Homo-oligomer: A and B are copies of this chain.
């Protein structure tokens, strides 16, 4: 990580434009509330105007339309939040674990690790696994045999990649297990959150394309495809063989049923269950609006009556 940079040095690397003293030194990022000397913060929407007035940050990143809202030294950029992310990356590593395999990890001799890969304590890497350059697996990640991860993949603790999909067939009141002989293929620049699970395919592979970001406790079932640059928030679940397009966002605790297709640029709201294919880009929602319990009791009773009386 570099030492402090002036505002001028920052814009020479990342673009944008300085208003005020370009020589001021910045060594870290901070929030509007808590940033102090030597720290740069950002304004991404006008809800935070009162905080901006009170901030003790040394400098601020903001959009052109807001550039006159402060007298502090500032960087003006079209997308202040993305710019802030880039600035933070100048001062902070993307993953904080050193390269190499921790002695407590169990890595098959038949696994292939790229340059600069970091395998944390207690990880278990199966036979035939390949992991691309500069990927980082935090403590206690499991990758079952035969799965592959691309470059610069970050996997957080407790994630399980390649466990058997939930493949069972009914026969005379019992379940027969279907061996899961596919694998999981994960592209470059993917991040997978803590305690998430991505199942191996039943026959073909489960596929997570480049640039996908999965939050914590996300479940990806067998034979799902998650298209490139799609982001899935915490506690969401995707059922078997769902095909999710590129550049989608799936909100927290949303559920995508199986064997359906979602095209590119679809946004599913938090808590929404998607029960059929979505073939048109846009935002889709299905959540019972919460209310005081007594109001809910009445609206729910009416809804239940609707179901009965037209039967």
Q: Which residues of chain A have a CB within 8 Å of any CB of chain B?
A: 28-31, 33-35, 79, 81-82, 84-86, 88-89, 91-94, 96, 102, 104, 106, 120-122, 124, 138-140, 142, 144-145, 154, 156-158, 160, 163-164, 166-171, 173-179, 181, 191, 193-197, 199, 202-204, 211, 213, 215-217, 219, 221, 229, 231, 233-235, 237, 239, 247, 252-253, 255, 257, 268-275, 282-304, 306-308, 310-311
Q: Are B79's CB and A171's CB within 8 A?
A: yes
Look across to chain B and name the residue whose beta carbon is closest to the beta carbon of A90: B179
What B residues does A217 contact at CB under 8 A?
195, 197, 217, 219, 237
| Residue of B with least CB distance to A31 | B203
Q: Is the CB of B139 within 8 A of A139?
A: no
Minimum Cβ distance to chain B for residue A154 (Å): 8
Alpha-carbon gap, A211 to B176, bound state (A) = 9
Contact A237 B221 (CB under 8 A): no
Copies of this subunit: 3
A189: shortest Cβ distance to chain B, in Å? 8
Counting from the closest, the 3 A-B pairs by CB-CB distance are A286-B290, A295-B307, A299-B307
A160 contact from B195, B204, B274, B310, Cβ within 8 A = B195
When distances are taken between beta carbons in the complex, the residues of chain B under 8 Å from A85 are 167-169, 171, 176-178
Chain B residues with CB under 8 Å of A92's CB are 179, 181
Chain B hits for A288, CB < 8 A: 272-273, 286-288, 300, 303
Known contacts A166-B193, A199-B216, A211-B174; decide if A286 and B289 are in contact (CB<8 Å). Answer: yes
In addition to A34-B203, A255-B270, A284-B290, 6 A-B residue pairs with Cβ atoms within 8 Å of each other are A82-B176, A85-B169, A217-B219, A269-B293, A270-B273, A285-B292
Q: Is the CB of B296 within 8 A of A286?
A: yes
Contact A195 to B193, CB < 8 A, known contacts A160-B156, A216-B166, A273-B287: no
Interface centre among A30, A289, A296, A301 (most CB of B within 10 A): A289
A193: chain B residues at CB < 8 Å are 163-164, 166, 197
Give the docked Cα–Cα distance between A269 and B84 (Å): 38
Q: Do residues A216 and B219 form an inter-chain contact, with CB atoms below 8 A? A: yes
28 contacts across the A-B interface (CB closer than 8 A): A29-B203, A31-B203, A85-B167, A89-B179, A92-B179, A156-B163, A157-B163, A158-B195, A163-B216, A166-B233, A175-B211, A175-B213, A194-B197, A195-B196, A197-B234, A217-B219, A221-B234, A253-B273, A255-B271, A269-B293, A284-B290, A285-B291, A287-B296, A287-B300, A294-B311, A298-B306, A299-B303, A299-B307
Q: Determine which residue in A145, A171, A202 has the highest number of CB atoms from chain B within 10 A of its CB, and name it.
A: A171
Asked, given contacts A166-B216, A211-B174, A286-B289, whether A257 binds B237 with beta carbons under 8 Å apart, the answer is no
Smallest CB separation, A274 vs chain B (Å): 6
Residues of B within 8 A of A31 (CB): 202-204
